[in-house]
Structure 1
């Protein structure tokens, strides 16, 4: 994979409206082979999903998020879907879906459902219902979804969709992350023959892979934090306010938050990839990083807002859109559960604190 920085340049339409799907950026990911990079070398990729390559994958996710959080969110979903395929699919299915990734299909993971119309699979293999909050709806053509079977278990499927079909983006009216094209996708009328089964029932929620995989979106969020702090620094320089000790103090606190999170996300990625510890310990490590990113991201936003002031809330200031995207993306589900679950695990154990997550 090329080490050239992404610097994803939006099209004129994308630059004019942060509602626009980032076609230019996604097409560049295709051209540069980044959509296939997570695949093993034997399947035409660069092996970024292998445990020994976790550092390279983490840096790529952070780099993508630094350039664009909506693109980072879409790319992280693509990487997550391929990770599940590589872990659970049979060899023939892995080869077929790897070919789709090499051909430029965008993958994603859609698990959230409407309360009244969740996705189910009947006894003869027909699908009924929908997925909601599906990032890339209408643009992701190989979504990995979970469908409830008649016996109550959940089965993973990768469905073959055409761009633009079955997606409803009408309710995606949000503060930030508008360009992710997040919406509802109805799968009713499709069947197993329109996709591929991935693994055995309930594989999707097996631990520690299910919760520990959160390190990937943390890496993207870290990139968003980096962008905020970089904009903060540029504004201080451009306005000649970098010599003010109060501004320096706020900027210094931003750097502490940023670098602390970088270390924690790196450790979480390494521990999750190695899977050498008990599943509960692996998940606790990732949840520690998740809690840190959640708080530090909000702190960095507050510090930048206080220093930049009203200018940062104007439409033409680069901080404005970045703040909205990061604040929205930080709202991951069950943050309190992640924090208290991690704390409870450590409190209930006798392992010395310095030995909880030993360095590789």
Structure 2
């Protein structure tokens, strides 16, 4: 069996409509989540042996996962963010956890659990004390996507000796979370908020991997390719809407509009090529770890630039109508601009450029 991509494509208008209806009041996309779950999107990252497709956990799943995340991003960037976080958490357990932990993850996914990854610290960073019998947490996480809905967040926490550890929290009671971080303008449907873990008690098997695993390269940087895939879906949709709305207004023959359309297509295809390269390098075998991290970081910057260029071209091409809330373009460009705000872009570019100053970019198998 293979993932039902045709059914997902048919579902995209429904996901987009829900995203627009939910935006004003920042309502969580429950219906879209349920529909994606029925298609198997949330079990897709499980290894084949656990009943999944290996998307994100097996090398052959790289390009199918790219397609899945890109399509979901076309329908709803908020849903794409939630799915990407779910995949990310499962990937980290598969890479650094034990067989027993991965089996539990698979069982939880089959029972409807939503995974996520929350690492941004609040005023009180998350710390823990482990006495060998129990782990006690203290502190909070910010910018937690799906704060009231993720039931299995993978978080980072600092030990008394300064080590950073990953741990998977079983969280069936959302009362420790608040749904808002204070008026964020885009990605409102992702339910981004904060979560206070103070006083939460975990068993020792919640610890995933060894000290420092979360920051270990190339995995730490390589995982960004999945976010790139979601952002690419938003770029796709804006380019398509520019084309359609110009045609509807009989402005598509204007030479200046054709220049904008051409530049938007170039930006989209540039991002697409970088996303494919990043996926193949990150999920393949044999690449130097530095090559992997630097390639994905360049792809991240290329996608950010493409997205910002497309937003500007859409705004200039459609004029004030791109800022009217009844036009779906208005929401999507807010969502995409917010989604593209990833940390340390300047540092990322400088490090990646420095790495490849004296060596060639890798050419993975399957990349022209």
What TM bracket, shorter-length normalisation? over 0.9
3-state SS, counterpart of residue 131 of structure 1? strand
Alpha carbons 1:33, 1:102 under 8 Å: kept? no
Counterpart in the other structure of 1:118:
125
Q: 1:272 to 1:11 in 2, by over 3 A?
A: closer
Shift of residue 193 of structure 1? 2.2
Counterpart in the other structure of 2:37:
30
Task: Give the TM-score normalised by the residue count of structure 1.
Answer: 0.95
Counterpart in the other structure of 1:129:
139
3-state SS, counterpart of residue 323 of structure 1? helix
Q: 1:317 to 1:109 in 2, by over 3 A?
A: same
Alpha carbons 2:20, 2:331 under 8 Å: kept? no
Q: 1:256 to 1:47 in 2, by over 3 A?
A: same
Q: 1:241 to 1:339 in 2, by over 3 A?
A: same
Alpha carbons 2:19, 2:76 under 8 Å: kept? no
Distance 1:273 1:321 in 2: 32
Distance 2:34 2:182 in 1: 23
The answer to whether the aligner puts 1:47 opposite 2:49 as a matched pair is no
The answer to whether the aligner puts 1:16 opposite 2:21 as a matched pair is yes
Alpha-carbon displacement from aligned partner over 1:254-276 (angstroms, at most 9, x marks no partner)? 00010011011100110011142
Alpha carbons 1:35, 1:78 under 8 Å: kept? yes
Task: Give the TM-score normalised by the residue count of structure 2.
Answer: 0.93
Distance 1:323 1:127 in 2: 38
Shift of residue 196 of structure 1? 1.8
**Structure 1 unaligned regions, length at least 5:** none
Alpha carbons 1:228, 1:323 under 8 Å: kept? yes
Shift of residue 15 of structure 1? 4.2
Write the mapping of 1:83-102 to structure 2, written as runs, cut at 5 A: 83-102=91-110
Which one is further off, 6-15 or 151-160? 6-15
**Cα RMSD (Å):** 1.6
Q: How many residues align?
A: 354
Distance 2:181 2:305 in 1: 28
Alpha carbons 1:143, 1:158 under 8 Å: kept? yes
Shift of residue 22 of structure 1? 0.6
Counterpart in the other structure of 2:82:
74
Q: 1:229 to 1:249 in 2, by over 3 A?
A: same
Q: 1:12 to 1:247 in 2, by over 3 A?
A: closer
Write the mapping of 1:1-360 to structure 2, written as runs, cut at 5 A: 1-3=3-5, 4=7, 5=9, 6-7=11-12, 9-10=14-15, 15-18=20-23, 19-49=26-56, 50-114=58-122, 116-124=123-131, 125-162=135-172, 164-193=174-203, 196-347=206-357, 349=358, 351=359, 353=360, 356-360=361-365
Q: 1:13 to 1:59 in 2, by over 3 A?
A: closer
Shift of residue 122 of structure 1? 1.2
Which one is further off, 158-167 or 27-36? 158-167
Shift of residue 53 of structure 1? 1.7
Q: 1:311 to 1:101 in 2, by over 3 A?
A: same
Distance 2:239 2:18 in 1: 26
Distance 1:128 1:297 in 2: 38
3-state SS, counterpart of residue 155 of structure 2? strand
Distance 1:75 1:32 in 2: 13
Distance 2:55 2:17 in 1: 32
Distance 1:336 1:64 in 2: 28
Distance 2:266 2:28 in 1: 33
3-state SS, counterpart of residue 14 of structure 2? coil
Alpha carbons 1:43, 1:95 under 8 Å: kept? yes
Alpha-carbon displacement from aligned partner over 1:170-224 (angstroms, at most 9, x marks no partner)? 4331121111111110111112229722111211111100111100000000000
Distance 2:244 2:117 in 1: 36
Shift of residue 14 of structure 1? 5.6
Q: 1:205 to 1:297 in 2, by over 3 A?
A: same
Shift of residue 163 of structure 1? 5.2
**Structure 2 unaligned regions, length at least 5:** none
Shift of residue 291 of structure 1? 1.0
